Amino acid sequence: MTQSVDILLTNAIVLTMDEKLTQYEPGAVAIQGDHILAVGLEADLIKAYDAKERIDCGQKVLMPGLINAHTHVPMTLLRGLADDLRLDVWLMGYMLPVEREFVNPDFVSLGTSLACAELIRTGVTCFADMYYFEEHVAQATARAGMRAVCSQTVLKWPAPDADYYEESLAASREFIQRWKGHQLIVPSVAPHAPYTCTQEILQATAALAVEFDVPLHTHLAETALEVENCRNENGMPVIPYVKKQNIFDAKVLAAHCVHVDDGEIKTLLHHGAGVAHNPSSNLKLASGFAPVKKMLEAGINVGIGTDGAASNNDLDMFEEIRLAAFLSKGYTGDPTALPASTVLSMSTRLGAKALHIGEITGSLEPGKRADLILVDITRLHNAPRFRREKNSIYAQLVYSSHSTDVSDVMVNGCWLMRDRQLTTLNETELISNAQEYASRIDQFLIKREKSVLSKLIAIGGATEGESFEVQSKVRIQDPAPILEAIQKSELEILRHRHYHEFDTYFSFEDPDQGFLRYREDEFLSENEQVSTVRYRLTLIGPAREGTFPSEVLLSRSRFIAPAPHSLRFYREYFKPTSELMIEKYRLRWRVLFHGTEFFINLDHVTQPALGYFLEIKSRTWSRRDAEHKAQLARDLISYLGTSPEAVEPLDYVEIIRQAH
Ligand SMILES: [Zn+2]
């Protein structure tokens, strides 16, 4: 008695990628609606099933669709935006500012559709995404007919889709409620990474994932620096730290896990966490080598991902699979590490398990969804075929096949590509719309790169705004009389501080850009010990607004921002044409002189050895007030015992020029 089915795929080399790596040749797969009814030898299935549509696969490989275990699909629109940079410069200098400016629902929809077209073409049927406006990622993915775990990002900084993390958390909840139970989309929440989230965010997202029994997607232990910082701040490495925040109460999908030790691998295993290994991204950003062989041997479900297109730069899983094998062999010095069948399992069955959707996809088995691809292995770069050894087919797919050998893709029982023609997406239109975005982003960056100020604003911290400063700076021979004068009664001392300052001045080709100063301020206590350190960036405008008689200067004041990154970061980001380092000891008094507030700085410049300087400063917001303060500044200089006639007026900008 024959049973009726919708589709019977015949005449194929069927690789089920099940636990036993069962193969059938010539094999067949029977599909009913959205799921697989039977997998077996062609002769058996033809006898057992009466198909509404029988498709001859022409001896191609019929296997489960590939699973991209970690990506950020909308970032296809940022592909090639900035490359060959360090992670912090790339992320803080380019990705985040551009994302803040451009990422909106339209961007996300287009980027997702572009990515889906590329993923389908390269044999991917399912992916795990993490981005902003995940609602629109999910919608575009479902429209394209692909399967995905879609994770709404939550982080402690303002994001393109939320000013506060509470907003993204609330959006995640609504997103999960809307999509839970969808036939293609598994909604999920993504605390971006331990270093971009607070403990509160990690705990809240874990609780949310547990409440709705959905996966929690995050980046863990990607770089050595992340682990080092985590140790310094929390006294433990990354995995125990996030465990303490309860994230392993949830079904975790952890991208990277490059820097994890044996104990941490045990923790990941014990809590059933899935890992996404991203070989291209780890290589391109020089993040290190993940202990993939160890994690697999321990029994962790390790999938393979491309990461975002901005750090790869394509979404080609065939390339990723091959690289995963090569990387592991090269890194361990063992050519038997990660054999072809293993990396192919990682990109199918184990990948699905890492995403916590192993029961519905990842292998060709009765009851699972019909997510499958056809791969032509008869082309020139893949000829000839040896058949003596059963496993050589896996080597053919991993080491010789190209993603362009994929001819047909089915997800959930529907064809998304038939004979290399996409059925749900218009490639020409997508490419042209993407180009429009690229041109707009180019314009934005060209404009930004012209101005040091807008680059400073782009990385956050500095706010746009202007004030003025009345200042007078004079070289002095002996600080003793000044120290004595300050103690006299006409001055009311409001505060006194002692600093050791290291200034690095960046200058630029265009002198109109001014100077950018990176200052490390060490606060010295009474016994000359460093009590605290402060890092600041100051953009010193080029224009001197004017001078007053006797060398009191009105300068356009500065844009000041905290400097949370390293000097190296700013050097690589601002690309100055020259640099100068100045080291000085500064005694600073905030005083009231005839009812007006002034700063008195007594500097000993030791590097270069320029000697002593006295500096009088006062901030002002109007020119009229500046005139009044300029007069007082002259009086104060006289009061401190140095006559304006005798002084040599200088400012540090001039010092820099002298020193060059
Ligand atoms: Zn990522």
What is the 320 CA–ligand 1 centroid distance (Å)?
14
What is the 194 CA–ligand 1 centroid distance (Å)?
13
pLDDT mean over 12-19: 98
What's the full length of the chain, in residues? 660
What is the 344 CA–ligand 1 centroid distance (Å)?
21
Pick from 556, 624, 525, 636: nearest CA to 591:
636
What is the 307 CA–ligand 1 centroid distance (Å)?
5
One DSSP character per residue, 615-651 reads EEEEEESSHHHHHHHHHHHHHHHHHTT--GGG--B--
State the pLDDT at residue 646: 44
Residue located via tokens 């059925």: 423
What is the 242 CA–ligand 1 centroid distance (Å)?
17
Residue located via tokens 């398990």: 353
What is the 71 CA–ligand 1 centroid distance (Å)?
6
What is the 512 CA–ligand 1 centroid distance (Å)?
39
State the pLDDT at residue 463: 55
What is the 162 CA–ligand 1 centroid distance (Å)?
19
In the chain, % of residues over pLDDT 70: 92
- Residue 546 sits at φ, ψ, to 5 deg, of 170, 170
What is the 21 CA–ligand 1 centroid distance (Å)?
30
Residue 390 has pLDDT above 50, yes or no: yes
State the pLDDT at residue 660: 27
Confidence of residue 546 (pLDDT cuts 50, 70, 90): low
What is the 572 CA–ligand 1 centroid distance (Å)?
23
Q: Which residues lie closer than 8 Å to 231 by C-beta, 6 or more apart?
A: 237
pLDDT in tens, 290-330: 999 999 999 999 999 999 988 789 999 999 999 999 999 99
pTM above 0.85, yes or no: no
State the pLDDT at residue 651: 45
What is the 321 CA–ligand 1 centroid distance (Å)?
17
Structure-token pair, residue 469:
């400063």
d(CA 218, CA 353): 16
What is the 222 CA–ligand 1 centroid distance (Å)?
9
